[in-house]
Amino acid sequence: MIEPMRPIVVAGNWKMHTTPSDAGDLARTIAARTREAGVIRVICPPFVCLAAVGDAVRDEDVGVGAQTVHHEAHGAFTGEIAAPMLRGLATWVIVGHSERRRDAGETDDLIGRKLDRAVENDLRPILCVGEQLADRDAGRAAEVVDGQLRGALTERDPAALAAVGLVIAYEPVWAIGTGRNARGVDASAMADTIRTTLDGLGWGERATRLPVLYGGSVTSANIGEFFDEPSIDGALVGGASLKPDEMAGIVARAALTARARGLAA
């Protein structure tokens, strides 16, 4: 059964691309080409481009997100960005992306503390989870994602996270830039695992209403397979989010799903 209250979300993660001089034009172009009813659009540029992107989409119904946030509210953390610093610049934040886990050594406990800072500052978090290739091949994919969720969410208030609009993105690390693709059924099974874990953590009906996105080398050519799955509610887009044609195709396909689910006329 399709849960009609779950929104369709397409978020673009620009990673370490664009500069303040060109980010605004790119954001403006993408916003103009992705105006579709029933789809929540979010652009997550580098920190230095947040203001430029925010100015560019000020008159568009497009959210602006940060790619990470520090787990403390302030302190002697050279080069880091605290959640209060994002006020007026972002309303969304990506937490626990696989590249942050890999390159910055972020643990599930630390990611949970980042979620705390997001809640305190009314930032809507996109929590990323996903397994490595060795885990998938060993049949441990569901176990790994369950552990990531429990590590980040145990002892955190489901009502507070639901109120701020938590979104979870499933990103199988083995399908990102490797040439090996996940299938819609893989993502659907993991979405079910995610909601089962949340239910076990006391989320109850909130688990059925939480949007689950797919993120793993998403393109306009492959996204249809994932949107065909009733348990998938959007996409976290990496490299393709820098290409207006690709984003237009992805959001257009998302809009078809939104209409099919009664979220748009």
Return the pLDDT at 62: 98
Residues forming a β-bridge with 230: none
Which residue ranges in the chain fall short of pLDDT 50? 1-4
Give the per-residue pLDDT at 1.
40
**Pairwise CA distance, residues 133 & 174, whole Å:** 5
| The two structure tokens encoding residue 151 | 């590590």
Count CA atoms within 13 Å of residue 233 on its CB side: 26
Q: What is the pLDDT of residue 5?
A: 78
Handedness of CA 95, 99, 100, 105 (dihedral sign): positive
User: Which residues, 6 or more positions from 177, have their beta carbon under 8 angstroms from its beta carbon?
Assistant: 217, 239
Q: Is 71 a catalytic residue?
A: no
Cα distances (angstroms) measured from residue 81 to each of 71, 73, 74? 9, 9, 9
Q: For residue 236, list its beta bridge partners.
A: 11
Q: Is 17 marked active-site?
A: no
Catalytic residue among 70, 71, 97, 106: 97
Say what the pLDDT of residue 265 is: 78
User: What pLDDT shows up at residue 178?
Assistant: 77
Q: What is the pLDDT of residue 4?
A: 47
pLDDT of residue 181: 79
Q: Which of 99, 171, 229, 246 is catalytic?
A: 171
Q: Which two tokens stand for residue 55?
A: 């100015």
Please name each of the domains of the chain with its CATH number: 8-260 (3.20.20.70)
